[in-house]
Structure 1
Amino acid sequence: MTDKSVVQAFHDAAAQGNIDSLKQHLEQGIDINVRNRQKRTAILIAAMNDQYEAVQFLVDAGANVDLQDETCFNPFLYGCINNKLELVKMMIQANTDIDLLTRFGGVGITPASEKGHVEIVHELLTTTEINVNHTNICGWTPLIEAIILNDGGERQQTIIKLLIEHGANVHMVDKHGVPPIELARRKGYTEIEKILLEAGAK
């Protein structure tokens, strides 16, 4: 059992991007995946503090990139949710598990689509095999989230086009049986309605 103060110092080094200190702790035998009270590992803490050199150092040193904290964050999902493209790319390179779920049961592309993170969505669709039709615990696909949880603006329209181009099913309904096109109409999103009609929605 590692002393709490040693764990704290290791995690502080991750937060500060202090690679020399991280290296020293590892040489002294600390578990690279040791967690704090929030179940966060050093690599997640480094990621959440934009310390990408430290993230890469920990990847190279063998950190488990897939361990999730008590809110289901790992570096990949944190990056998808918070529009951290560089981090997402790093995690894809590190062979992160793209099927891990957020606390709402979505995969990484789900919150990225909802929040209008065009670059993240594009990266996931073009460089991974992420499930574009994954359904979360609310019964929503990324396409549905992109429609109902944002403003219907240009970024959302771009994301919806990207999702459709990469296999999003425009007929998959929500848990109440309502199709995406009806959800767009209810919101008054005429541009999104046009995109869906062109994709064969009825």
Structure 2
Amino acid sequence: MVAAGAMLGMTMGAAMSETQENQLFEAAGRGDAAAIGRLVSQGVKIDARNDLGETALLVATHANHVDAAKRLIEAGADVNAKDKINDSPYLYAGARGHLDILKLTLSHGADLKSTNRYGGTALIPASERGHVDTVRTLIEAGVNIDHVNSLGWTALLEAVILSDGGPRHQAIVTLLVDAGANIGLADKDGVTALQHAKSRSYREIAEILEKGKR
């Protein structure tokens, strides 16, 4: 009877824990910081994973729910915990330009050397997508400017190859060059950022790169 009672208690405890974890994911998804706070006070497992391998913090980061992310991070959520496709709160916030959450991850142990499923740092997709303030923040944080991803591209190369050559990418190329990016690093085909800029008629970017070579 004692053993049966203990087993029942363990089963009920596991069910309660699972319910709390589900509630945490739901609260993170809707940005409910107050509900997150209540669940944390009840001892919910802060870094529990869903079927996609995501933590509640990553769920909140996907939706750019800053207050919810802040509550989770301050409660000890792992800003480097990766899901099944190698996204973490830090990497995703950087890639998507979720600047407030990115800054929170940086102040709570973000691994600047961590890489996404393409073998790239947070700086590379941020540069590609034109997130100027994010690129500035990551450079200031000390991310390796010349890191090469599995495609053979650096942040500078992606800021040219995958951009429209407009003002945001011009600003990003300027930031990268001013921070000391290696302008001569070429892609797997031996083509440099300057050569890509010229082939695409990105005149302003080409001028920035040419000045940076002097």
Task: Name 1:76's counterpart in structure 2.
Answer: 90
Task: Name 2:67's counterpart in structure 1.
Answer: 53
CA contact (8 A) 1:47 1:87 kept: yes
* Runs of 4+ in structure 1 over 2 Å off: 1-7, 16-30
Q: Quick one: distance in 2 between partners of 1:20 and 1:191? A: 48
Q: Give the TM-score normalised by structure 1.
A: 0.92
Q: String of CA shifts for 1:12-66, please: whole Å, max 9, x gaps.
A: 1222233343233334332110000011111111222232222111111111111
Q: Quick one: distance in 1 between partners of 2:30 and 2:124? A: 30
Higher helix proportion (structure 1 or 2): 2
Paired amino acid for 2:145: V
Task: Name 1:164's counterpart in structure 2.
Answer: 177
Task: Name 1:174's counterpart in structure 2.
Answer: 187
Q: Quick one: distance in 1 between partners of 2:133 and 2:29? A: 26
Please state whether the residue corresponding to 1:59 is helix, strand or coil: helix
Paired amino acid for 2:46: I
Task: Name 1:190's counterpart in structure 2.
Answer: 203
Deviating more after overlay: 187-196 vs 37-46: 187-196
Paired amino acid for 1:133: D
Larger radius of gyration: 2
From 161, 171, 175, the counterpart of 1:148: 161
Q: Quick one: distance in 2 between partners of 1:148 and 1:16? A: 36
Report the Cα offset of residue 113 of structure 1: 0.5
Task: Name 2:137's counterpart in structure 1.
Answer: 123
Please state whether the residue corresponding to 1:77 is helix, strand or coil: helix
Unaligned runs of at least 5 residues, structure 2: 1-12
Seen in structure 2, the aligned counterparts of structure 1 residues 188 and 54 have a Cα distance that, compared at 3 Å, is same
C-alpha RMSD of matched pairs (Å): 1.7
Percent identity between the two aligned chains: 34
Task: Name 1:21's counterpart in structure 2.
Answer: 35
Q: Quick one: distance in 1 between partners of 2:193 and 2:28? A: 43
CA contact (8 A) 1:107 1:134 kept: yes
CA contact (8 A) 1:2 1:30 kept: no
Q: Give the TM-score normalised by structure 2.
A: 0.87
Paired amino acid for 1:123: T
Q: Quick one: distance in 2 between partners of 1:87 and 1:76? A: 8
Please state whether the residue corresponding to 1:199 is helix, strand or coil: helix
Q: String of CA shifts for 1:137-158, please: whole Å, max 9, x gaps.
A: 0000100000110111111111
Report the Cα offset of residue 2 of structure 1: 4.4
Q: How many residues align?
A: 200
Report the Cα offset of residue 92 of structure 1: 1.1
Q: Quick one: distance in 2 between partners of 1:87 and 1:30? A: 22
